[in-house]
């Protein structure tokens, strides 16, 4: 059911710069992680860790997109989240001493900084800045999950899809305001439908509606955003009241 984890040859990354897209860490915390971590580059479709497995290391996404999958009783996994540059993976389970509750799989080519469990816990216990940053990130993640659950009832399928496309644009293009923009969706349509909690058939109807509204165009497997300013304006309206704008990746002028 699960994909096998790959182990590409490791490559040390001495550069202590922050992740390019939407960094969540202070420069001090990031430098501390890079001092004890190992950076590796993975192709799409690699399982970084699997649901139910023990936590041996935590990961920080330096570049790329990672999807979080959850199996319950169904034969196929549900995508419960997409994580972008800067986000940690497996930290809550590491602190609790619990197994991973999701599978993390690369959606695009990713650069991942891996920190051993012992080094991570030592930093959390002894480094005030690392601990403070992590509290902030876990709080943002909790808000994100609550907002996601609220959106299932409060937002239309169209709004949920706009929000998800906006997150992907933010991760891959750093909230560019210049259009038109061509976007490669890293999810198959079936996965995309599950991620926004709808059917494949209804997703097709919503995509057609977005095309009719000239918010997107589909060209040979790509999504083209003809007018990014108008698109971000629609994303701003497609939010649950009270959602912090940085959680949905809105450019600063729309916050």
pLDDT digit string, tens, across residues 202-213: 999 999 999 999
Select the more confidently predicted residue: 31 or 21.
Answer: 31
The whole-number pLDDT of residue 7 equals 40
Tell me the pLDDT of the chain averaged across its residues.
80
- Residue 39 sits at φ, ψ, to 5 deg, of -95, 135
- Whole-angstrom distance, CA of residue 233 vs CA of residue 251: 10
Q: Could you state, in order of their start, the residue ranges of all structural domains in the chain?
A: 27-150, 155-254
- For CA atoms 35, 37, 38, 40, give the dihedral sign: negative
Helix (H/G/I), strand (E/B), else coil: 43: coil
Whether pLDDT at 11 is above 70: no
Q: 198: pLDDT confidence band, cut at 50, 70 and 90?
A: confident
Tens-digit pLDDT profile for residues 161-192 = 888 888 788 766 655 556 688 888 888 888 88
| Coil/strand/helix, residue 46 | coil
User: Is pLDDT at 115 greater than 60 in this prediction?
Assistant: yes
Mean pLDDT, to the nearest integer, of 21-45? 88
Q: In the predicted model, what is the mean pLDDT of residues 61-76? A: 84
75 phi, psi to nearest 5 deg: -70, -25
pLDDT-derived band at 34, boundaries 50, 70, 90:
very high
Give CA–CA dist 192/200, Å, rounded: 8
Determine the Cα–Cα distance for residues 104 and 155; give it in Å rounded to an integer: 26
155-254 CATH pick, 2.60.40.10, 3.40.50.300, 3.30.450.20, 1.10.10.10:
1.10.10.10
Most confident listed range (22-26, 40-44, 227-231): 40-44
**Would the CATH topology of 27-150 be identical to that of 155-254?**
no
Q: Specify the CATH number for 27-150; select among 2.60.120.10, 3.60.15.10, 1.10.260.40, 3.40.50.720.
A: 2.60.120.10
Between 30 and 175, where is the model more confident? Answer: 30
Residue 188: other Cβ atoms inside 10 A? 10
Q: What is the pTM of this model?
A: 0.71
Give the helix/strand (H/E) hosting 68. Answer: strand 66-70
245 compared with 192, residue with greater pLDDT: 192
């Amino acid at each position: 059911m699960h994909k096998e984890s790959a182990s590409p040859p490791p490559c040390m990354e001495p550069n202590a710069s922050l992740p390019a897209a939407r960094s969540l860490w202070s420069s001090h915390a990031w430098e501390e992680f890079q001092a004890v971590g190992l950076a590796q580059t993975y192709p799409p479709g690699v399982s970084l860790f699997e649901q139910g497995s023990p936590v041996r290391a935590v990961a920080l996404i330096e570049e790329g997109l990672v999807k979080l999958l959850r199996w319950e009783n169904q034969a196929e996994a549900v995508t419960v989240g997409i994580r972008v540059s800067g986000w940690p993976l497996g930290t809550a389970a590491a602190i609790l001493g619990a197994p991973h509750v999701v599978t993390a799989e690369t959606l695009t080519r990713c650069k991942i900084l891996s920190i051993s469990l012992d080094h991570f816990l030592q930093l959390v216990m002894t480094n005030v800045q690392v601990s403070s940053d992590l509290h902030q990130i876990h709080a943002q993640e909790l808000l994100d999950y609550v907002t996601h659950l609220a959106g299932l009832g409060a937002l239309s399928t169209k709004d949920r899809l706009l929000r998800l496309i906006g997150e992907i644009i933010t991760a891959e293009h750093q909230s560019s305001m210049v259009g038109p923009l061509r976007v490669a969706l890293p999810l198959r349509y079936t996965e995309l439908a599950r991620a926004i909690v709808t059917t494949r058939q209804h997703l097709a109807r919503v995509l057609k509606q977005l095309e009719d509204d000239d918010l997107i165009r589909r060209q040979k497997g790509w999504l083209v955003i003809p007018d990014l300013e108008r698109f971000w304006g629609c994303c701003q309206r497609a939010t649950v009241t009270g959602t912090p704008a940085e959680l949905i990746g809105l450019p600063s002028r729309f916050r």
